[in-house]
Homo-oligomer: A and B are copies of this chain.
Amino acid sequence: MQERVLFGAAYYHEYQPHDRLNQDLDLMAAARFSVIRVGESVWSTWEPENGRFDVDWLQPVLDGAQARGIAVVLGTPTYAVPPWLARLYPEITGERRTGQRIGWGARQEVDFTHPGFRFHAERVIRKITERYADHPAVIGFQVDNEPGNELLHNHGVFQRFVDTLRHKYGDVQTLNDAWGLVYWSHRLSDWADLWTPDGNVQPQYDVAWRQFQADQTTEFIGWQADIVREYARPDQFVTTCIAYERPAVADDELVRRLDVTAGNAYYSMQDGLRHPHAGSAQQGWTTNGTWALYLSADRMYSSKQSPFLVTETNAQSIGFPWNNRPAYDGQWRQAAWALVSRGAKMIEYWHWHTLHFGAETYWGGVLPHSGQPGRTYREVAQLGAEFEAAGSLVVDLTPDSDLTLLYSTPSKWLMQKYPALAHADGSPDERSYHGFFDPFYRGAFDAGLQVRILHTSQFTGSVRDHPVLVVPALYLADTDLLDQLAAYAEVGGHLVVGPRTGYADHEARARTDVQPARLADAAGVRYDEFSNVSVEVPVRGIGLELDADAAATRWVDGLEVDGADVLVGYDHPHFGRWPAITTRAYGAGRITYVGTVPNPALAAALFRWIKPASWTELPAGVTVTSATSADGRRLRFVHNWSWDSVGLKVPGRAHDVLADQPANGELELGPWDVRVLVELDQ
């Protein structure tokens, strides 16, 4: 059990132009750092020439950390291949298209499945791990970094893809039937007939290809983890750092090979943290909007359904060179506490120093280029003191959830190539899966509710664990899963189904059932047509109250009611014939069907109808989230995401954890402020 939230930064002393090890570590200690991550980016330092190793250089860093009570996560450097290896074996270079090698000069240019790479990777992993596993400062290992960055098209990768298909389907005729290769004359006569992915336009192929790519990542990381475990002490964990946007990552599958989930939480600072979020800033490898920050945390929790490590998060800024946006005062604390409130048990900045050279010169660290502590350091140090004050109370939290959102990685992948949604200009939206998913998450968040995210692989049908289950855009689903969803409602759950759910089977074949497939009867609605919409369609509340700005967006299912009650209708000469949202009691539970992408006002109204927030009438800009501590106490996290100082009433008796004083009655928050309360009478 950790004594407090692990707090620190990635630390690259080897990148510094001058020795400043002790100065750095002293500054860290003063900021209450308790962890650093080291060593994962410098294979060419560990092994400057083929087979010539230099593994001692890290010793002073580990010793210095140990001397100050700072723990170390030791990385293996396999994501950054040395030039000598690239020179010796050009065939290990990754290919983004068949035969077109990635240019060297960045990192992750390699076909990590190639045995020529694996041989060298294994050797350096063993050298480093063997050398330092026993060091008392080392609490765990990060293997590789942000894996799954490429869809590799190398010859060997493709041939193993064909082998995988051969093993799965047995003969080409079975594959022809499963994939519908009668279409456009694609029937294979032999396995050698299979085309490479470069020109593929068949969704069924894409499903297999994307899963295969993610499997490569899982296998590679698992392989590394197993090697490291040969050396690791039982008290040391093994993980990797997940960048959730990487194309070849199935996070729920990947973390099964690891001891703990660890990932990036990069977010837009400054006005990007305003709540409620205005505008429609795109999500990407950084989140935009307070709700999206929470979504990223809840996705990390979801990988293993347990607390997680934040291996990287914004220090001064997040890059690129044209995107420097250091936080407003208070925002670093706010974001960190938000992450902790959702289960983070480590907050590790990327990174301590700001680099003086290289591609990431404008990924601002805790220290600026001058190496002298500035505003970022001061803000971070205040947070360090807070974590120290809070101690173990905030470690290993179980974040509260009012409802559960079901997440489908394969559906996300498929909609990247076959988006169901368009941008405003009519072009395809490659983030269509999240185009459906996010408005539901955000609606719940705006309604003051908290969300658990569940991978389809984790769904058990438990109504107790998941009294409300929201399922938008579960496009790829096998029949069993759809039947489990209906059964879940039948035994008492409230199933909220969104557009595209159940439409296709596990091979992305559109189902021949009436839609929503295998749910239509239970939901009391059916449709056989649907429409994209380019402008907002006004809606009318029938079974629930709506603000004037509530609207449907982007998609309309042509729902015919067959037993359901209508909650919301469209105000439109054509779409008005169909309801937008319906609900129907089913068995001991209920199925609500949402036939559109609700805009924020409509989504929030829907979720207020589904479940009232526990703490209402909050001032604008204020959110309250909650969690249960490892010892069973109830915690409240109160954020003010605005420039205005606010006051709010605290219901019941509570203690202000950070101020260490009672927090009964009125609570005052300054701009961009946060409070942690522990409830005293529950």
B81 touches A354 (CB 8 A): no
A328 beta carbon closer than 8 Å to chain B:
yes
Contacts of A135 in B (CB 8 A): none
A425's nearest neighbour on chain B, judged by CB, is B282
- Please state if B84 and A44 are interface contacts (CB–CB under 8 Å): no
Main secondary structure of the interface of A (DSSP, over half): loop
A354 to chain B: which residues have CB within 8 Å?
510
Is the Cβ of B105 less than 8 Å from the Cβ of A187?
Answer: no
A15 to chain B, nearest CB (A): 6
A316 within 8 A of B: yes
Across the interface, do B189 and A45 meet the contact criterion of CB distance under 8 Å?
no
Looking across the interface, which residue of chain B has its beta carbon closest to that of A322? B422
Q: What is the bound-complex CA distance between A316 and B104, given in angstroms?
A: 47
Which of chain B's residues have a CB closer than 8 A to the CB of A509?
17, 356-357
CB–CB B87/A529 < 8 A? no
A320 within 8 A of B: yes
Bound Cα distance from A531 to B375, whole angstroms: 13
User: A372: CB under 8 A from chain B?
Assistant: yes
Copies of this protein in the assembly total 3
- Indicate whether A192 reaches chain B with its CB closer than 8 angstroms: yes
Instruction: Give chain B residues whose Cβ lies under 8 Å from the Cβ of A503.
Output: 369
Q: Is A278 an interface residue (CB 8 A)?
A: no
Question: Is A190 at the interface (CB under 8 A from chain B)?
Answer: yes
A184, B109: Cβ atoms closer than 8 Å: no
Pick the most buried of A198, A420, A429, A510: most chain B CB atoms within 10 A of its CB.
A510
A100-117 interface bits toward B, Cβ cutoff 8 Å, 1 = contact, 0 = none: 001111110100000000
The number of chain A residues touching the other chain, given as a range, is 35 or more
Closest to A179 in B: B357
Given A359-B203, A529-B374: A44 touches B512 (CB 8 Å cut-off): no
Q: Is the CB of A361 within 8 A of B203?
A: yes
Please tell me which one of the listed residues B98, B194, B205, B370 contacts residue A515 in the complex, with CB atoms under 8 A apart: B370
Is A82 part of the contact surface with B, judged by Cβ < 8 Å?
yes
Q: Which of B83, B197, B514 contacts A188 (CB 8 A)?
A: B83
Within 8 A of B (CB), among A342-364: 354-359, 361-362, 364
Closest Cβ of chain B to A52, distance in Å, is 9
**Given the known A-B contacts A102-B199, A199-B102, A512-B369, are A324 and B358 also in contact in the complex, defined by CB atoms under 8 Å?**
no
Bound form: Cα–Cα A601–B619 in Å: 39
Question: Distance in Å from the Cβ of A335 to the closest Cβ of chain B?
Answer: 16
Chain B residues within an 8 Å CB radius of A204? 357-358
Decide if A370 touches B106 in the complex (CB within 8 Å).
no
A321 within 8 A of B: yes
The listed residue with most B CB atoms (<10 A of its CB), out of A323, A372, A671, is: A323
**Is B200 within 8 A of A103, CB to CB?**
yes
Contact of A42 with B by CB under 8 A = yes
Most B C-beta atoms less than 10 A away, residue of A104, A183, A321: A183
Across the interface, do A320 and B428 meet the contact criterion of CB distance under 8 Å? yes
1/0 per position for A182-212, CB-CB distance to B under 8 A?
A: 1111111110111111111111110000000
12 intermolecular pairs with C-beta atoms under 8 Å apart: A14-B182, A82-B189, A83-B185, A102-B199, A105-B196, A106-B184, A322-B419, A324-B531, A356-B511, A370-B511, A372-B514, A573-B671
